[in-house]
Amino acid sequence: MKIGFIGIGVMGESMARHLMAGGHELTVYSRTKAKAEALLSEGAAWADDAGACAAGQDAVITIVGFPKDVEQVYLGADGILENAKTGAYLIDMTTTSPALWEGIAQDAAARGLHPLDAPVSGGDTGARNATLSIMVGGEEADFNACASIFACMGKNIVHTGKAGTGQHTKMANQIAIAGAVAGVAEAIRYGEVCGLDTTNMLSCISAGAAGSWQMSNNGPKMISGDFAPAFFIKHFIKDMGIAAQEATAHEANLPILDTVLKLYEEMMANGQGDLGTQALIDKYR
């Protein structure tokens, strides 16, 4: 297929590369062209804005930073909705507001376009290895039509229901991570203050009921002080903030989410927003 790909970041570059390896013809756009240079050298074409990237494509994929960025690339005269050809598939893989996407999807469908919200989980490692979990909301026929696209980037690919349900599923994912990453940080800090060999401790408890992806992957990084971002704190705050807003709108009380969000917001205020989420251990220390 001819695909427009918008957003060349920590995950987007690898995802775009897998699509090219899968035989798809890519046109790319990013606010910073330098981030796309490697893909351009490998055969991708460049577009000067989101609308130009969407024009004439069979599908358009977006993975940008924040809800305001989603609005910017989809709406307006130079946006995707005004420039995508009738019948094109619009796949937003950003983690964004479910309510925002539902509005965009309704507008897109009225124009004869096929919108899918398809946020991902797995971080930069999943993007590099094409093992992302992809949660897809939208019409089932559209999901099926894009199966070959998703298969280039992920392994656990699930149709979650109508438009917006992919985003709601990702919110549930982020809520679960909030508790898990904080639990690992607390366990490590407890081990430190009690004089344990924390590497030994993790090897003991990770094989039992306490084991988790966060413990196996971010636990060792917490111990070693490796805070390089596979997933930025600033983006996790964005995700948790959306989840908290949705919880409030649906009258759900989520005290663990609220607590972890506050901890990360304090780190953000302390200038730590560009660190990886595993840097939460620094808050405990």
pLDDT at 1: 96
Q: Which of the following is catalytic: 170, 234, 262, 283?
A: 170
- 147: helix, strand or coil: helix
Q: What percent of the chain has pLDDT over 70?
A: 100
Which residues lie below 8 Å from residue 168, measured CB to CB, with a gap of 6+?
98, 137, 160, 246
Q: Quick one: fold of 2-163? A: Rossmann fold (3.40.50)
Q: Where are the alpha helices (DSSP H) in the chain?
A: 12-21, 37-41, 50-54, 67-74, 80-83, 98-110, 123-129, 140-145, 147-153, 165-193, 198-205, 213, 219-224, 233-249, 255-269, 280-284
Query: Contact 240/264 with Cβ under 8 angstroms?
Result: yes
> For position 10, what pLDDT does the model report?
81
**What is residue 77's predicted lDDT score, i.e. its pLDDT?**
87
| Tokens coding 100 | 């925002």
* 26-62 confidence digits (pLDDT tens): 999 999 999 999 999 999 999 999 999 999 999 999 9
- Cα pseudo-dihedral 134, 135, 141, 144, rounded to 10: 20
Half-sphere exposure in the Cβ direction for 271 (13 Å, CA): 0
Q: Report DSSP state, residue 139.
A: -
Do 169-284 and 2-163 have the same topology in CATH?
A: no
Q: CA–CA separation, 5 vs 53, rounded Å?
A: 7
> In CATH, which superfamily holds the domain spanning 169-284?
N-(1-d-carboxylethyl)-l-norvaline Dehydrogenase; domain 2 (1.10.1040.10)
In this structure, are residues 17 and 9 in contact, taking their beta carbons and an 8 Å threshold?
no
Mean pLDDT for all residues in the chain: 97
Using CA atoms, how far apart are residues 269 and 283, in angstroms rounded to an integer?
12
Segment 151-163 shows an average pLDDT of 97
Q: Give the model confidence (pLDDT) of 204-262 as tens digits.
A: 999 999 999 999 999 999 999 999 998 899 999 999 999 999 999 999 999 999 999 99
Does 76 score more than 90 pLDDT? no
CA distance 52 to 80: 8
Residue range 153-178: mean pLDDT, rounded: 97
**Mean pLDDT confidence for 122-151:** 96
Q: What is the pLDDT of residue 9?
A: 86
| Domain segments of the chain as ranges | 2-163, 169-284
Catalytic residue flag (residue 234): no
**Average confidence (pLDDT) over 174-201:** 98
Whose tokens are 């917006």? That residue is 164
Question: Taking the CA atoms of the chain, what radius of gyration do you get in angstroms?
Answer: 20
